[in-house]
Structure 1
Amino acid sequence: MNSTFVRPLGFYIGGFQSLPYSQYYFLFLSIIYLATLFCNFFLMVIIMYVESLHTPKYIAIFTLSVIDVSYSTTIIPKSVDAFLFGSKFVLYETCLTQMFFVLFFSAMESFSITILAYDRLISICFPLQSVTINTNTRMIRIILISACIPLMVDVVTVYLITRLSFCRSTVINSYYCDHGPVFNLACNDFTPNWMAAYFGIVTFFCVPLAFIVISYICIVSALLKIASTEGRKKAFKTCTTHLSLVAIFYIPLLAIYLTSWIRLSVDTNTRIFNTSLAATLPPLLNPVIYTLKTEEIMVEIKKIFKRKIAN
C-alpha cells in the first residue's frame, strides 16, 4: 500500500443525473416497494397460518418471500432517499454494507428460484419417492447451505473493494452502491474485483440457470411418459408458475450481462433504468404470481375470507 492510497469518506450516488423528472420514477419505486412488502408479508402469513402448507415446496416459497422483502429493502429505501430527498452522499462503510447485502440477496434470489426447480424435479420425476427424498428438514438444510456459499463469496468480494484507492471521482454511476460502478472508480488495479464480479455472475446466475434448464429437460421427459393427457396437463400446470418466476428474474439479467459481455454501447440512463427494474420488479411479482397461480394458496385464502365473513 503506497502513499497515494486514498480511502474516501464516502461516495455520491450519481445515477439518473441527466434524466428529467427522475423523481417521478423513484416515486413509482416507492409504490412498488410498499406493494412488495404487502404482497410478500401476505403470502408469508398465509403459509405460516395454514398447516397444510408446511411442506418443502412452501418452505422454499416462504424463504423466497423473505429474500424478496430483504432484497427490496437493501436497494429501494436508500435510492428513494437519495433521489427524492437529495440525500445522495453515502458513507464509505455504509456503501460497502449495502453492496454486500445487495450481492448476497440477489444471489439468494437466484438460488431460491433454483431450489424451487429442484422441488419440481423431485415431485415430477420421482413421485413415489418424493416424500422421503424431499423432507422439510432436508429442504431447510439445502436453504442454509445455499446461504453459506454467497455469504463467503460476497465477504471476499466486498473485502477486495477495501484494497482500492479512490483518488479521482467518488460519484457512483448507478442508483445505489453498485459493485461494478464502484470498483471502476478506482485508481489502482481492480483486476481482482473484476474477476470476483465475473465469478459471482457465473456461480450465482449462470450455474443456477443451467441447473434449471437441465431440470426442465428431465421434467419434460418425465411428463411425456405420463399416459394420461389430463395427468400430463395437470403436472405441467404446476411448473408454469415457477417458469414465470424464472423468466421474470433471469431474462432481464441475461440482457444486461450480454450487453456488457459483447461491449454493446448502451445509454447510461437506459442501463440504470433496466437494472433498477430487474432488481425491483421480481420481488413484487413473485408473491403475486404464486398467490394467483397456485390452487392450494387460493383455496386457503378463500377459506380464510369465508371465515371472516361468517364471523
Structure 2
Amino acid sequence: MANIVLNQTFSYELKIARFDIPPSAEYPIFIIGMLIYLFSIVSNLTILLLIATQKSLHKPMFYILFSLPLNDLIGITAMFPRMLIDIVTKENTVYYPTCVLQGFLLHMFGGGTLFVLAAMSFDRYLAICKPLRYHAIMSPLTVAGLLALAWGMDFAIVLVLFLLQARVRRCRSFIYNVYCSNFSLLNLSCGEDITVNNIYGLFVTAYMQIITIGVQLFSYGQILLTCVFNKQSNAKAKALNTCLAQIIVFLIYEFIAMFTILSNRFPDVPANARRAVGILIYCVVPVVNPIIYGMKTKDIRVAFLHVVRKNKSSLT
C-alpha cells in the first residue's frame, strides 16, 4: 500500500545504475560529454534556424527535414544532462515520474527518427520520380499531413507502450541501466505477468521497422530505377546529392541499434561496455546528423555560407 501511495503522490525515489569510472577520469569524461552535448545542441539548432529563416530552404523537403534536428535535440537532451550530472555528483537517484518522462522521450526519439526518415524518402521519391507533379502533390497540406502522421504514429505507439507499463505493480527501486526505458521500468515489477507488454513491444518494434524500411526501400528503389533509365547525368547527380545523406543517417541508426541489441544478448559483455553501447544511439546520431546534412545537402551549405558572409560583411 505504501508503494501505491508513493506512486500516486509522485514521490517514489529510484536508484539508478552508474558507470564504473575511476575518480581521476570523472571530470575529463564529464567535460568531453558536455562538449559533445553542446556541439549537438549548437549544430542542430543551426540547422533549425537556417530552415526557419532562409527563404531558399522554405521547401517541402526542408519542412520535413526540420523534424530531424528537433528530434535529435529531444533525444540527446533526455539522455545526456542527467547522466553527466550523475557522473560528478554520484547521487544516482531519480524520481519515478522523471524516469518515466526520460524513457518516454527516448522511445519517442527512436521511433521519430525512423518515421521522419521514411517521410523524407517519400518526398525524395516524388521529387525525382514525379517531378512534374511534385509541387501539386507536396502541397502545404500534404506536408503537414505527413508530419502529423509520422509524429502521431510515434506518439500513439509509445503512449500505449507506457500505459501498459504503468498498470504493472512495482516493488523494486533499482534501475539496472544508466538511463530509464520501458524495459528497465518493467524490471521494477513484482514478478507479475508482463506477457502482454512483451508481445506489444515486439509487435511495435517489428511494425515500425517493416513500415519505415518498406517505405524507404520502395522510394530509393524507384529513384534508382529512374536514374538507371534516365540518361541525363544531372538527374543522377541530383538523386545522389539529395538521397545520400538520408541513406547514411538511416544506416548509422540501424547499425548502432543492431549493435546495441546484440550486445545485450551476450552475457559475457562487461556491464560498463553494455551501458556504453546502450547510449550510443542517443549521442552518436544527434551529433553526426547535422554534420552529414551540412556536408551532403547543397542547399543547406549554400544557406549557411550566405548567413556567414552576410554577418561577416555587417561586422566590417
Do both proteins adopt the same fold according to a TM-score greater than 0.5, normalized to the shorter chain? yes
> Structure 2: which amino acid aligns with 1:41?
L
Residues 107 and 205, structure 1, Cα contact 8 Å, conserved in 2 = no
Q: Distance in 2 between matches of 1:268 and 1:193?
A: 25
The one-letter amino acid paired with 2:182 is: H
Q: How does 1:1-311 map to 2 (within 5 A)?
A: 9-16=12-19, 18-20=20-22, 23=26, 24-167=28-171, 169-186=172-189, 187-258=191-262, 263-265=265-267, 266-311=269-314
Unaligned 5+ runs, structure 1 = none
Give, in whole Å, the separation in 2 of the partners of 1:241 and 1:46: 17
- Given that 2:52 and 2:58 are in contact with CA atoms closer than 8 Å, whether structure 1 keeps it comes out as yes
After superposition, the Cα gap between the structure-2 partners of 1:257 and 1:219, relative to the gap in structure 1 and judged at 3 Å, is farther
Structure 1 CA distance for aligned equivalents of residues 184 and 210 of structure 2: 21
Task: Give, in whole Å, the separation in 1 of the partners of 2:126 and 2:244.
Answer: 16
Percent of counterpart pairs with the same letter?
23
Q: How many residues align?
A: 306
- In the superposition, relative to structure 1, how do residues 80 and 205 fare at CA in structure 2: closer, same or farther (>3 Å)? farther
Q: Deviations over 1:268-310 (max 9, x none)?
A: 3222211211111111211121112211121122222222232
1:115-136, CA deviations, whole angstroms, 9 ceiling, x for partnerless residues? 1111111111111111111223
Q: Distance in 2 between matches of 1:165 and 1:290?
A: 45
Unaligned 5+ runs, structure 2: none
* 215-224 vs 229-238, which moves further: 229-238
3-state secondary structure, aligned to 1:11:
strand
The two structures have a TM-score, normalised by structure 1, of 0.89
Secondary structure of 1:12's aligned partner:
strand
Question: 1: distance between equivalents of 2:95 and 2:108?
Answer: 20
Distance 1:255 1:210 in 2: 21
Cα distance in 1 for partners of 2:272, 2:5 equals 29
| C-alpha distance 19-202 of structure 1, shift in aligned 2 (>3 A) | farther
Partner AA of 1:308 in structure 2: N
Matched-pair contact (CA < 8 Å) for 1:223–1:236 = no
Partners in 2 of 1:129 and 1:232 — Cα distance? 19
Is the CA contact 1:180–1:197 (under 8 Å) kept in the aligned structure 2? no
- Give TM-score, length-normalised by structure 2: 0.88
Give the counterpart letter for 1:146 in structure 2.
A
**Which secondary structure state, in structure 1, belongs to the residue aligned with residue 14 of structure 2?**
strand
Change (3 A) 1:231 1:149: closer
What is the CA distance between 1:155 and its match in structure 2? 1.8
Deviations 1:212-256 (A, max 9, x none): 123222211111111123432332222111111112212111233
